[in-house]
Structure 1
Amino acid sequence: MLNRSARLRQLSEVDQDLIHLVQEPRFGRWLEQLTATGGCAHPIHLAGSTTTRDAATGEVLHRYDTRDEPGERLLIRCRNRRQTVCAPCSRLHAGDTFHLVRAGLVGGKTVTSDVRARPRLFITLTAPGFGPVHHATTDRRRCRPRRDAGQCEHGRSLGCPAVHDTADSLNGQPLCPDCYDYPAHILWHANAGRLWKAFTDNLYNHLAARTGHTRADLRRSLRISYAKVAEYQKRAAVHVHAVVRLDGAHGTDDPPPAWATADVLSSVVRTAAAAVRLRTPYSSAVGEHELRWGAQLDARPLRAFGGREGLADDAVAAYVAKYVTKGATDTAAGLDYRIASPDDIAAAPVSAHVRTLIRACWHLGGLPELEPLRLRAWAHTLGYRGHILTKSRAYSTTYTALRAERADHERGGTPLDDTDAITEARWRYVGSGHTPGAALLAAGIAEDLSRNREIAREEVEHELHERQGGVTCPA
């Protein structure tokens, strides 16, 4: 018979780690911490303490110290938004995003419900073309049918008679990689924030011209509020979806002037986008590039008070929330991690087109004249430097406020800040991630919580169905 040490050698690394964990004296408390993170796949480990004192007397009201915890550390969520990195935290981020966007559409979270009656559009702005690419169509048409397509200077056909479905790996890939303007693609991404700023400035200017106001008068009576999300197309170029709303000059509590309607806003969106023309600094290596929005632009009104025309508020909020959690490799957006050297580019699990974009970004990042763009630091996102979701200050609530509200709820509604108390906190980072056995337990916790949420959702839907007079067949 094998002795205990021999049996342990035969066990896998995961099994050995699980046995070690469950034999720890404070395993139950550690499991509570793991559950409190929702089964986070890559938790942050902190060490330190928090002391709350009465401001007047100095009496200690509460004290917490990680020296009393298993391993003398506290686990907290990583808060990564990408589903491919941490599914539990991405689900939480998606929920916060939904409420953030929805509050700016229908009210709630300190936002007045009057915003639902404001002029509102859901717009899409695209990147220009940097070279012809393969694409799929919804009606099964040929990709690029040309009777006499001819060839480019590199000997490749300028047409494509194939019919691509949405899963075809050729979608988004250039017909000729040598003809494709990779530097222009990267520089457009690096300046996408400037392009959006120029567009919103133009909206004010074009609204003033359209309504006969001076720009100064317009800004004293009206404010443009927005929330926007950046989405990578199959060709790995960013396009922007945005909810745009017209408010009075003081924000959500202030209605806009009577002449400010959705039709007026819609009439100037296209002209404001078409008028954007920026230029990159001159580079001896790549020259100077003009920056503009693409010709494809969509602007749709949002449905208010159950009307039949336009997009539904909740559908728009759900779309944005779903998109922000997608991983980079799911959306041709590059990588979920930063590039440290050219060797990382060669080993990246991406398409040839995305790999060439990353290489172009790395090369351009080495040019002194383009150093302010910090392209090497953002090579993993193909030069795009902005957040996936951004908003104007007056659009709605913030992620910070939503997280604070959730923390209050988890404490049973006790406010975090007490004007009669002083809190002293000392924390330091001591690690991150899981051991193999802990990772397996965390995945099980995350799966159980997901299943419980699904069961709760089905029960709520069943109850609503019965209230509305529906008939449910017995199982």
Structure 2
Amino acid sequence: MPANERATDMHTLDERIAYRVRMRDYDEWRAKVHAVNGCARPIRLGGAHQLQDAASGQVLHHHGGDIFVPCGNRRESVCPSCSDRYAADAFHLVRAGLIGGHKGVPEHVTDRPRAFVTLTAPSFGPVHHARTSPRGKRIPCGCGEYHLDADPRVGTPLDPDTYDYTGSVLWQAHAGVLWQRFATRLRREIAKRAGLKAREFAEQARLSYGKVAEYQRRGLVHFHAVVRLDGPDGAADPAPAWAHPDLLEDAVYAAAGAAYATSALPDGTPLVLTWGDQVDVRRIEPLGSAELEDNAGRISEARLAAYIAKYATKGTGKSEAADRPIRSERDIAHLRVSDHHRRIIQTAWDLGALEPYDELNLRRWAHMLAFRGHFLTKSRAYSTTFKDIRGDRRRFRLEETLERLGLADRADTVAVVNNWTFDGAGYSDDAERELAAAIACRIRDDRKHKYSKENDHGQQAA
């Protein structure tokens, strides 16, 4: 944005917004913001790009100047726009592994034994809860009160002084390792139930999964996972004859109960890390219902992908952890988090200074309450990849550009040459940030309205 001396003399945000809208370059600026879907802190680049004939080098199109590029942050609290895009990509990744028919996954994956698995953290001390009975009545908390779901005390310890913060941080730091131990154990449990030796499992079957981590109110993650039993070559290979949903379900419970990781307390006391008692396994059925599950508790694949994708960004909001890595211990006191989460962060920071925990790099991950893993991960053969999904998007946009320029017939011979330099990040002032936020909100509302209409038409057709 050009230097704006008059805007600095304006006292209210409304005045600065009105002035920015009246500026001659506003339409051009708005188009740039719209191109990044109202990104909260876009990367500003200056330079040019060209479309050239790959064989002759002839310049077919040239564009110079400055552009905005999305920041790409998946955290909803940092950038709702880029978070939406990440969630959409996650939806397509999970959906491809659920129903097949696109992204290189065959349709017959719906015939495989599949389960929706939830693994939780163990207890590190009693916390406030907002539970209800099967009849819908509120159950009193251990403190003697009845809490509503929105009560900020829910998930916090009844007695912070006796809550095992050290154990919870070490469990959280090993959660990714614990999942890998579970997956390894699950293969062995499946093999045992199929009458196979552990080393023979890979010759007859493959375990495919996509999982997402979600923060609980107490600050610990639990995992939701779609688990699928394929043939040895993955999605394209039918599952063996012995593969059955009941076998998979039984093996999951056994593996969850047997998997463990080890660590040690600061005084050297050995620490065994396991999953919590709440393990849930639901069979996935190709239901046509718009609901997540039917009356029998079976999970519908029609809604499950969106349900999982939601947690790919939900688990990184301000209510669970800080938005950015912590650089100094002094920053911890100023974080906008609950006292309970602040104490988790402080514990992770303190443990990070101890040599036995060097490999955990706890200070780097203190802002994530010591969780060191990715929020969405999958096995290699489950479905497509984020890289492929984003590559498809780039190709689609290139095809749109070529068609607009009348070069659609030369798509196979065009080379894109970029020459951009970094000019900065974010907007110039609060007026631009407010306008960008309004544009982002409008784009999201339009998208939700469009999807709602498509879903309504789909349900009517069904």
Normalising by the smaller structure, the TM-score range is: 0.7 to 0.9
- Given the superposition, is the C-alpha separation of residues 208 and 340 from structure 1 closer, same or farther in structure 2, using an over 3 Å criterion? same
Larger deviation: 209-218 or 419-428? 419-428
Q: CA deviation at 1:380?
A: 0.5
- Give the one of 261, 268, 292 matched to 2:274: 292
Q: CA deviation at 1:340?
A: 1.3
1:310-333 CA distance string (max 9 Å, x none): 1111222121122222264555x3
- Give the one of 109, 120, 129 matched to 2:123: 129
Aligned pairs for 1:394-405 (under 5 A) are: 394-405=381-392
Q: Which runs of 5+ in 1 are unaligned?
A: 145-159, 469-475
- Give the one of 286, 301, 309 matched to 1:321: 309
Q: Is residue 2:76 matched to residue 1:88?
A: no
1:434 aligned partner? 427
2:191 aligned partner? 208
- Give the one of 268, 279, 283 matched to 1:301: 283
Larger Rg, first or second structure (1 or 2)? 1
- Give the one of 346, 353, 363 matched to 1:376: 363
- Given the superposition, is the C-alpha separation of residues 390 and 463 from structure 1 closer, same or farther in structure 2, using an over 3 Å criterion? closer
1:225 aligned partner? 208
Structure 2 CA distance for aligned equivalents of residues 284 and 366 of structure 1: 11
1:149 aligned partner? none
1:309-368 CA distance string (max 9 Å, x none): 51111222121122222264555x321111111121111121111111100000001112
Structure 1 CA distance for aligned equivalents of residues 441 and 266 of structure 2: 54
Larger deviation: 51-60 or 260-269? 51-60
Aligned to 2:285, what secondary structure does the other structure show? coil
1:176 aligned partner? 159
- Given the superposition, is the C-alpha separation of residues 191 and 463 from structure 1 closer, same or farther in structure 2, using an over 3 Å criterion? closer
Aligned to 1:231, what secondary structure does the other structure show? strand
One-letter code aligned to 2:270: E
Q: Is residue 2:236 matched to residue 1:253?
A: yes
One-letter code aligned to 1:297: V
Identity, % of aligned positions: 40
Q: CA deviation at 1:22?
A: 4.1
- Given the superposition, is the C-alpha separation of residues 239 and 463 from structure 1 closer, same or farther in structure 2, using an over 3 Å criterion? closer
Q: CA deviation at 1:8?
A: 7.1
2:223 aligned partner? 240
One-letter code aligned to 1:218: F
Aligned to 1:289, what secondary structure does the other structure show? strand
CA contact (8 A) 2:124 2:163 kept: yes
Structure 1 CA distance for aligned equivalents of residues 337 and 60 of structure 2: 54
1:413-448 CA distance string (max 9 Å, x none): 579997645544343332111122221221222232
Q: CA deviation at 1:303?
A: 1.3
CA contact (8 A) 1:122 1:242 kept: yes
- Given the superposition, is the C-alpha separation of residues 413 and 270 from structure 1 closer, same or farther in structure 2, using an over 3 Å criterion? same
Aligned residues: 440
- Given the superposition, is the C-alpha separation of residues 11 and 254 from structure 1 closer, same or farther in structure 2, using an over 3 Å criterion? same
CA contact (8 A) 2:157 2:163 kept: yes
1:76 aligned partner? 69
1:212-253 CA distance string (max 9 Å, x none): 112222111211111111111111111111000011111111
Q: CA deviation at 1:301?
A: 0.2
1:23 aligned partner? 23
One-letter code aligned to 2:300: A
Structure 2 CA distance for aligned equivalents of residues 465 and 241 of structure 1: 27
One-letter code aligned to 2:282: R
Larger deviation: 267-276 or 194-203? 267-276
1:40-86 CA distance string (max 9 Å, x none): 1111112344345444333334444xxx32xxx31011222222222
Q: What is the TM-score of this pair, normalised by structure 1?
A: 0.85
Structure 2 CA distance for aligned equivalents of residues 166 and 443 of structure 1: 29
Aligned pairs for 1:351-366 (under 5 A) are: 351-366=338-353
Aligned to 1:229, what secondary structure does the other structure show? strand
- Given the superposition, is the C-alpha separation of residues 364 and 86 from structure 1 closer, same or farther in structure 2, using an over 3 Å criterion? same
Structure 1 CA distance for aligned equivalents of residues 14 and 315 of structure 2: 27
Aligned to 1:377, what secondary structure does the other structure show? coil
- Give the one of 446, 450, 453 matched to 1:456: 450
Q: Which runs of 5+ in 2 are unaligned?
A: 403-407
